[in-house]
Amino acid sequence: MSDFPRPFPARDRDTAPFWEAQDNHILQFQKCSQCAHIRYVVGPLCPECRSFDFGWIASSGRGTIYSFTVVRHQTHPAFEPPYTVLLVEMEEGPRVIAQLRAPEDADVGIGTRVHVEWEDHEQQSLPVFVPEA
Amino acid sequence: MTHRNKAAIAGIGQTEFSKDSGRSTLHMALEAILQALDDAGLAVEDVDAVVKMGANDDIFEIDLLRSLNLPNLRYFNEVPHGGGAACGTIAGATAAVVAGMADVVVTFRSLNERSERRFGESSVGGGLTHWRQYNLPHGLVTPAQWVAIFGQRYLHEFGYTTEELGHVSVLTRKHAATNPHAMMYERPITMDEHQNSRWISEPLRLLDCCLDTDGACAAIVVSAEKAKQLRSTPAYIAAAAQGTGSRAEMMTSYQRKSLAHLEESEATAKELYRVAELGPKDIDVIEIYDPFTPMVLMQLEAYGFAELGKSPALFHSGRLELDGDLPFNTHGGHLGEGYLHGFGHIVEGVRQIRGTAVNQPDGVNTCLVSSGVGVPTSGVILSKEPY
């Protein structure tokens, strides 16, 4: 691993509960109290019905790879290639970005089912995805 | 009421494009602006408005205004969203001219993107806000990586291989190879070279990515009436438009229903064709913003030149060649001429309308120019004659 610190989120009044939950290894989304739309990324207003009222729901942690990239050229000192970043469509609907953790010869691609595991960093715990057995 | 053909680009200017300009972005911007004014036969005293691109710019408006020492300024504005703003400056200038708030509007872009600040590198630390906080902590830190997610999905949905990306790169470099102003002048590439270039962020290879460039471009917008009195051949603005899409982020709009659609470009296209009262079949030349090859394919579909998922066939047909019926990125684009955040495309569009480009097809009456992709974007349709 690189000594350079990994960039981490700055919590604000909208996003703090989301990131605090991740430190407790919970991936959660906002659910609109009015129209039940589950939304991500975090924001104060429902993009479907424009209600400010919402609650937090915990994700099942399971989803399907919707797209991905294998990064092979280093562009940031904290991230040494190669590594794979996934866009995972979660069972609840939102699509989440996180890295893949799998053996190098694993057969992983669009459509592969994955689940969340957690990695603790100094500033922020973050999800990674592991292929389902 | 629309702004159709009520304003025109009357002057263009540009510096050389290089890996190291040896001077400040302010210096280059001033060179390009003075050249564009001279091209139009206008003086600094004639300028009464400036509309500039906002993001990723180290030119402060106040430095520009002080340097030009503009005595008669009465309108100034700044357009956000990085490369998505390029044609947006033309839209803002057109709005000011048509509304009677300005007569002579300066627009420009100046970057030391190779020697000073490369957008493809990042050493950002903590404290990420906004859309960046959801992506950068996972190692998705640069535009190539953000766009690779879109590109991978596009290839998957329509069953294409990266050779379809290669065709974009090969044709663009072919056009750059005959443009002496291009960084890749006399340096065409083959499909083998594309397929054997090193991976950057799959499915993107080095030869799918735009160049890093130092340089500046400028364009002067005036009313159509004024343009007729000036010494240059006017490029009438048949339409200028901005557009965005659902759940918009900066190249990471991953929550929208389909990643195969470039919603921002679709919205811009719809408004351009509505205002211009033209359709894709009426366009003679296209200068398409080409940061990464998948974004070219997706834009050709968004702007109606091919159906969804069908744009690769355009590259097989020969239609996009200089002797085809829809010549594409005649200057060599970001992949071959230089990366000026879409402003090189505008300047080339004007040359195409004037008939003075180095790669000049015959009979060009209309040219569509697009700007930054996967971000709130913009476009213009230029016309040789008002209609």
ipTM of the complex, rounded to two decimals:
0.96
Verify that A70 and A132 share a domain, yes or no: yes
- Residues in chain A closer than 8 A to B156 (CB atoms): 67, 110
Judge whether A103 lies within some domain. yes
User: Does the distance separating the beta carbons of A7 and B136 come in below 8 Å?
Assistant: yes
- State yes or no: is B289 an active-site residue: yes
* Mean residue pLDDT across chain B: 96
Verify that A65 and A54 share a domain, yes or no: no
As a whole number, mean pLDDT of residues A38-50 equals: 96
Encode pLDDT of B135-182 as tens digits.
999 999 999 999 999 999 999 999 999 999 999 999 999 999 999 999
User: Does the distance separating the beta carbons of B200 and A73 come in below 8 Å?
Assistant: yes
Verify that A73 and A131 share a domain, yes or no: yes
Verify that A33 and A65 share a domain, yes or no: no
d(CA B173, CA B151): 20
Contacts 24+ apart (CB under 8 A), B244-248: B244/B376, B244/B377, B246/A47, B247/A47, B248/B375, B248/B376
Is the model's pLDDT at B77 over the cut of 80?
yes
As a whole number, mean pLDDT of residues B185-190 equals: 98
Encode pLDDT of B344-353 as tens digits.
999 999 999 9
B57 vs A43 pLDDT, higher one: A43
Judge whether A1 lies within some domain. no
Domain hosting residue A21, numbered range:
10-58
> Which of B117, B129, B134, B162 to mutate to test binding with chain A, by most A CBs within 10 Å of its CB?
B134
- Residues in chain B closer than 8 A to A92 (CB atoms): none
Nearest Cβ partner for B202 among A12, A40, A70 = A70
Q: Considering A58, A76, A95, which residue would you say is the last residue of a domain? A: A58
- Residues in chain A closer than 8 A to B144 (CB atoms): 73, 75
| Residue A66 in tokens | 């919707």
Which domains are assigned to chain B?
Answer: 7-116+211-383 (3.40.47.10)
Judge whether A19 lies within some domain. yes
pLDDT for the residue numbered A119:
97
| Residue B344 in tokens | 């090189």
Verify that A77 and A130 share a domain, yes or no: yes
Encode pLDDT of B20-55 as tens digits.
999 999 999 999 999 999 999 999 999 999 999 987
CATH number at residue A108: 2.40.50.840
Element (H, E) at A85: strand A83-90
Q: Which of B75, B154, B273, B289 is catalytic?
A: B289
Judge whether A32 lies within some domain. yes
- Give contacts of A 31-60 with B, CB under 8 A: 39-41, 47
- State yes or no: is B339 an active-site residue: yes
Judge whether A73 lies within some domain. yes
Verify that A64 and A123 share a domain, yes or no: yes
Judge whether A25 lies within some domain. yes
pLDDT for the residue numbered B58:
74
Verify that A54 and A64 share a domain, yes or no: no
Q: Which residue of A has its CA nearest to B154?
A: A67
Q: How confident is the model at residue B252 (pLDDT cuts 50, 70, 90)?
A: very high
Verify that A126 and A81 share a domain, yes or no: yes
pLDDT for the residue numbered A2:
61
The nearest CA of chain A is from the CA of B126 a distance in Å of 4
pLDDT for the residue numbered B171:
98
User: Does the distance separating the beta carbons of A126 and B252 come in below 8 Å?
Assistant: no
User: Does the distance separating the beta carbons of A72 and B142 come in below 8 Å?
Assistant: no
User: Does the distance separating the beta carbons of A72 and B140 come in below 8 Å?
Assistant: no
- Residues in chain B closer than 8 A to A95 (CB atoms): 254-255
pLDDT for the residue numbered B121:
79
Nearest Cβ partner for B133 among A9, A47, A79 = A9
pLDDT for the residue numbered A70:
98
Judge whether A115 lies within some domain. yes
Q: Which residues of B65-89 are buried (b: 16+ CB within 10 A; e: fewer)?
A: eeebebeeeebbbbbebbbbbbbbb
Verify that A53 and A66 share a domain, yes or no: no
In chain A, how many domains are there? 2
Residue located via tokens 């357009």: B79
| Helix-strand-coil split of chain B, %, nearest 5 | 40, 20, 45
User: Does the distance separating the beta carbons of A97 and B156 come in below 8 Å?
Assistant: no
Encode pLDDT of B322-346 as tens digits.
999 999 999 999 999 999 999 999 9
Verify that A64 and A104 share a domain, yes or no: yes
Please check whether residue B198 touches A, CB under 8 A: yes
Verify that A90 and A129 share a domain, yes or no: yes
pLDDT for the residue numbered B63:
87
Judge whether A3 lies within some domain. no
Verify that A75 and A115 share a domain, yes or no: yes
pTM for the structure as a whole:
0.97
Percent of chain B with pLDDT over 70: 99
> Which of B140, B202, B212, B251 to mutate to test binding with chain A, by most A CBs within 10 Å of its CB?
B140
- Give contacts of A 58-117 with B, CB under 8 A: 66-73, 75-79, 83, 85, 87, 94-95, 97-99, 110
* Mean residue pLDDT across chain A: 95
> Which of B132, B146, B149 to mutate to test binding with chain A, by most A CBs within 10 Å of its CB?
B149
> Which of B147, B152, B165 to mutate to test binding with chain A, by most A CBs within 10 Å of its CB?
B152
Q: Is-contact B167 B315, C-beta < 8 A? A: yes
User: Assign residue B283 a region: left if phi > 0, alpha if psi is -120 to 50, beta otherwise?
Assistant: beta
